[in-house]
């Protein structure tokens, strides 16, 4: 009987150890998912075109605007205060619907005339917006730019953070806008949609938009001097700039132009899969030990009879 008791004690000790291991795995897995709601994301825009030899070139000093459109709350998209009066539909069914959503949001910004974030490309043609809350963002090229005798423009685009790519969500997203190239000069200033009026001021540039990198010898050009019809009272501005009485928003290109496939930046390297496997194996072993103990007790009672 003492031998049987010792055997039970060993089983229970092993079971408690595995149970503690499973609890540690639970504690490692669930905080990862709980923290997702509090994580901040990043959007990297690569301003890249091909030169006459077919080589990719990063363009410096191209400005893009970024707007926080909606946050995910209570299993639905909730418009931010700046977009509270937007009556359109946030449709991501397919590329066509997403393009229409971006155009509608762009026209809303033109009508309301406000600025949130602005970034300018560095020597490598890279713009980084970081510290972004999860939600829907609108990206707008502020003005056309000229390179190699051609004028380049891109259509507004909507980006979701986190972005679902494959079977995983990514908080950090990199995208390369598809530029429409034109050999005809549009003049010193692009034409705005009919419903807009020229602004008398130039929006401030927020400090969080532009992350410069090390020096580069890549050829670049200075973008057009035109600016959008947006007031200076930006929620993200840190320094003022001189006014321009003829500032207007750029045209939406007539051809379909949407950003290329988003390339994920790994922002979460937690070995969640390993935790889950260890947790499941531990639980299965514990269940097996319980069944074994019950069977052993039943056999002992049968022998006593």
Indicate whether 187 and 292 sit together in one domain.
no
User: For residue 140, which of 162, 98, 110, 182 has the smallest C-alpha distance?
Assistant: 110
Indicate whether 240 and 297 sit together in one domain.
no
pLDDT attached to residue 214: 40
> Long-range contact list for 258-261, CB < 8 A, 24+ apart?
258/95, 258/98, 258/99, 258/155, 258/157, 258/178, 259/139, 259/154, 259/157, 259/159, 259/175, 259/176, 259/177, 259/178, 260/175, 260/176, 260/177, 260/178
Indicate whether 109 and 223 sit together in one domain.
yes
Q: What are phi and psi of 142, to 5 degrees?
A: -70, -35
Indicate whether 13 and 69 sit together in one domain.
no
Indicate whether 188 and 300 sit together in one domain.
no
Give me the CATH number covering residue 55.
2.60.40.10
pLDDT attached to residue 5: 53
Indicate whether 164 and 255 sit together in one domain.
yes
Query: How many other CB atoms are found less than 10 A from the CB of residue 200?
Result: 13
Number of domains in the chain: 2
Indicate whether 67 and 128 sit together in one domain.
yes
Q: What are phi and psi of 262, to 5 degrees?
A: -70, 130
Indicate whether 77 and 167 sit together in one domain.
yes
The series of mean pLDDT values per 10 residues for the chain, 305 residues long, is 57 70 56 55 95 92 97 88 94 92 96 94 96 95 94 95 88 94 58 38 38 39 45 41 42 41 42 62 75 75 69
60 and 123 in contact (C-beta within 8 Å)?
Answer: yes
Indicate whether 67 and 119 sit together in one domain.
yes
Q: Which residues contact 78 (CB under 8 A, 6 or more apart)?
A: 70, 71, 72
Rounded CA gap, 166 and 212, in Å?
30
Q: Which residues contact 33 (CB under 8 A, 6 or more apart)?
A: none
pLDDT attached to residue 101: 96
Indicate whether 120 and 258 sit together in one domain.
yes
Task: Give the domain range for residue 292.
Answer: 2-33+271-304
Indicate whether 209 and 276 sit together in one domain.
no
Give the global pTM: 0.55
């Amino acid at each position: 009987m003492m031998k049987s008791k010792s055997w039970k004690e060993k089983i229970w000790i092993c079971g408690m150890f595995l149970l503690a291991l499973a609890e540690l795995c639970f504690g490692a897995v669930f905080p990862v998912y709980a923290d997702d709601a509090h994580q901040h994301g990043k959007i990297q825009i690569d301003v890249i075109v091909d030169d006459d030899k077919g080589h990719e070139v990063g363009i410096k000093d191209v400005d893009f605007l970024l707007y926080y459109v909606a946050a995910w709350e209570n299993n639905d998209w909730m418009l931010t205060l700046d977009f509270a009066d937007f009556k359109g539909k946030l449709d991501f069914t397919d590329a066509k619907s997403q393009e229409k959503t971006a155009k509608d949001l762009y026209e809303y910004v033109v009508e309301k005339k406000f600025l949130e974030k602005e970034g300018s490309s560095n020597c490598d043609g890279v713009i980084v917006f970081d510290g972004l809350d999860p939600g829907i963002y609108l990206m707008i090229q502020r003005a056309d730019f000229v390179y190699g005798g051609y004028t380049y423009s891109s259509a507004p685009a909507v980006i979701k953070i986190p972005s679902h790519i494959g079977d995983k969500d990514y908080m950090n997203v990199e995208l390369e806008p598809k530029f429409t190239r034109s050999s005809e000069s549009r003049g010193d200033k692009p034409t705005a949609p009919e419903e807009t009026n020229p602004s008398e001021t130039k929006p401030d540039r927020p400090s969080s938009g532009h992350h410069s990198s090390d020096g580069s010898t890549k050829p670049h050009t200075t973008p057009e001097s035109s600016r959008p019809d947006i007031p200076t009272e930006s929620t993200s501005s840190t320094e003022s700039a001189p006014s321009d009485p003829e500032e207007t928003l750029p045209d939406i290109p007539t051809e379909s132009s949407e950003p290329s496939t988003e390339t994920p930046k790994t922002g979460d390297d937690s070995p969640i899969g390993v935790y889950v496997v260890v947790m499941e194996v531990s639980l299965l072993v514990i269940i097996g030990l319980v069944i074994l103990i019950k069977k052993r007790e039943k056999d002992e009672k049968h022998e006593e009879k």
